[in-house]
Amino acid sequence: MHSSFSIHPWKVIQTRFTLKEQRFAESLMSLGNGIMGMRGNFEEHYSGDHHQGMYLGGVWFPDKTRVGWWKNGYPQYFGKVINAMNLIGLEVWVDDVQIDAAILEVIRFHRELDMQSGILLRNMCVKTQKGEVEIIAERFVSMADTACIALRYKVIPSYDATVRISAFLDGDVHNEDSNYEESFWDQMDTGVKDDNPGGYLLSKTKENPFGTPRFAVAGAYEIKTDMELTEQSATEALVQSEFVKRVKAGEGAALDKIIAVATDRDYQGDQLISIASNKARDAARLGYEALKMHHVAAWANKWERADVTIQGDDAAQQGIRFNLFHLLCTYTGDDARLNIGPKGFTGEKYGGATYWDTEAYCFPVYMATAGEQVARQLLHYRHQQLPGAYHNAAQQGLPGALYPMVTFNGYECHNEWEITFMELHRNGAIAHAIYNYTSFTGDTSYLYQEGLEVLLGIARFWAGRVHYNKRTESFMMHGVTGPNEYENNVNNNWYTNRIAAWCLDFFLDTYIQAPEHRKRGLKIGEDERKWMREIADHMYYPVDSERGIFVQHDTFLDKELMPVSDIKKEDRPLNQNWSWDRILRSCFIKQADVLQGMYFLGHLYDLGTKKRNFDFYEPMTVHESSLSPCVHAILAAELGYHDKAVWFYHRTARLDLDNINNDTEDGLHVTSMSGSWLVIAQGFAGMRTQEGLSFHPFLPADWVSYSFRFEYRHRVIRFEMGEDGVRLTLVSGEPLPIKVWDEPILLEGSWRKGRASV
């Protein structure tokens, strides 16, 4: 952990303020409720380097992408999440001194994110010429009323002084990564309230040339305070209420700011101001403490289902709770139009859109901790965007459905050719999520309804993308990028070919078992199905028989092969120190590629095959994708490399807390945060669900115990592993046959077995 932060099992605590760590701390201290979220910015003015960020789920803008070397098939735009109005803003003066931690000397500082309650608290003391001024600020983004944000702010001078606070909403905001010099927003209306302190602001995204929606957002606030209201004003992009109070030394001036947000994704545009204003009024009448109580209770319900406990390693415990906290902040499953952006509500990098990360990494975590209905929402999200996937394939002159690499609405909106139209393997992650849902829940209703339509579109795409090679009498795919993005435009990436063949098999097997009326509705003939089976049975796979491994792509072994340990320390991370040309020509692997197949399709390969491939590829992997360490941890655990698995777990769980990739200041790696739960459940506990529920657990060295709760086939099960062995408890539901260390048991009530059996 950074020197100014400390380790705590339920909190992220910053004990010292430094200018250079402000962006890093803002990322760590982010808050959200699945509908909206914000970075951990100061409420009051801060003139130093920082990233002011407030984001709303499903509100985005199609940024221009057209360049001089435009190619047919490029997407029209690059979709990105856009920074919304500053809702928490305050300007604070003590006498004639503005409170600004970038200018004034900070003599004491304590800030903590309480992950158990979802509350951010800051206690800061600055020095002025007359003495000291203490700031106490607390806020939360309500998990109970997801339209509301509440903050409590107090100023305590050590001397007699006049305190002035201006509370405002500011619509003049910008994205840091924008191609445009102007804002993404048009300001439509502002106003103040007549009967009590407060105001509203209405903004609408600018006109765009791509026919995508324009979004309107209204923010409103009310103030509760014993300070004197001196003025309220509203200009084009700013509405504010100013207060004053004369205080004696040690006395405080305080206010509660209650904010509500409404968008035209949920309400009629002409009603947004009244809806936001009414929500703010009702919340203010309820009061800060009552709002906080409901919010804390909502978080308690979340943690009851999702918490993972670790005894004996506080860093590991803090890491997984930090990751689970931000996953819960980002997605709740309440709205099927929303998904999980790689940065969640913590930053703008990667556009804030949906990637294959959701299905490959996040999906199984939400399914086990939030329930199958939430998982089904994620599946429904992809089904409702199936027309966009057909459009994406047609843009490339191909049949079937190509799910986008990056999207808000189903249409591809990412403009890097080598990623967008070569990294085709993401289609496989969509199909695998359907398989994962069906095998985990035992529910085939989605598979034979919406799922079958999705699988057909994916199968038709793969069948159209391959070509037949007469020399090898097999089907190939050229010009692709595998999960390892440090190699582009390769031929016969093993993972891409393998997942394509698996998708074809999965569709065809599902079709055979589907009800007759569903088959008729698909309009696929016997000849087309035979052709798909021919492709799946005769797909080309590069292999090295001498090493007994699958070769990452046709020419991978032609490279100069060397381990990561040969790289100079000052060259890491490669993506920040080497040219792209040098990276592409090297053997070094950004993330699991062949090993991604060993993870996804692990039930199809024996331990020997997994071990040979792991031993060959892992030493060349730099793990400069946040998605990489968890896959390696799970495989390492299965292979008995327990110390290595624990090392990878720490890298997964503490990636952002320890700023391992030196990029946390851009925002958190939200989608890869799911990896820490996957390592605990699938790695250390050895949980598998492809062919019934089974466990092969071990206890990491120096750990006393770990435990987690999960939902499985209408049952709630608690798993515990400690020094005295493993315990499984059926919390609710019917008895269930399972296996532990390959021993069949019937789980009813509580079952325990000592470690001596390991």
**Active-site annotation holds for 560:** no
Nearest to 462 by CA among 518, 528, 384: 528
- Residue-wise DSSP of 556-582: GGGS----GGGS-GGG-SGGGTS-HHH
Distance CA 533, CA 507 (A): 10
Distance CA 169, CA 150 (A): 14
Per the CB < 8 A criterion, the answer to whether 169 and 238 are in contact is yes
Pairing of strands 549-550, 694-695: unpaired
Among 26, 43, 348, 485, the active-site one is: 485
3-state secondary structure string across 436-473:
HHHHHHCCCHHHHHHHHHHHHHHHHHHHHHCEEECCCC
Q: Are 754 and 745 in contact, with CB atoms under 8 Å apart?
A: no
| 14 close to 4: Cβ distance less than 8 angstroms | yes
Amino acid at 351: G
DSSP 8-state secondary structure symbol assigned to residue 67 = -
> Could you check whether the bond before residue 573 is cis, i.e. omega within 30 degrees of 0?
yes
HEC secondary structure over 381-392: HHHHCHHHHHHH
Give residues with Cβ within 8 angstroms of 394, minimum separation 6.
none
Cross-strand pairs, 163: 94, 245
Adjacent-strand bridge partners of 178? none
Query: CA-CA distance, 553 to 399, in Å (whole number)?
Result: 25
Q: How far apart are CA 713 and CA 94, in angstroms?
A: 60
Q: Which two three-digit tokens encode residue 690?
A: 């492809």
Q: Rounded to an integer, what distance in angstroms lies between the CA atom of residue 755 and that of residue 458?
A: 45
Paired with 32 in beta bridges are 37
| 419-424-427-428 Cα dihedral, nearest 10 degrees | -120
User: Helix/strand/coil (H, E, C) string of 252-277?
Assistant: CEEEEEEEEEEECCCCCHHHHHHHHH
Closest CA to 607 of 660, 659, 548: 548
Catalytic center residues: 485
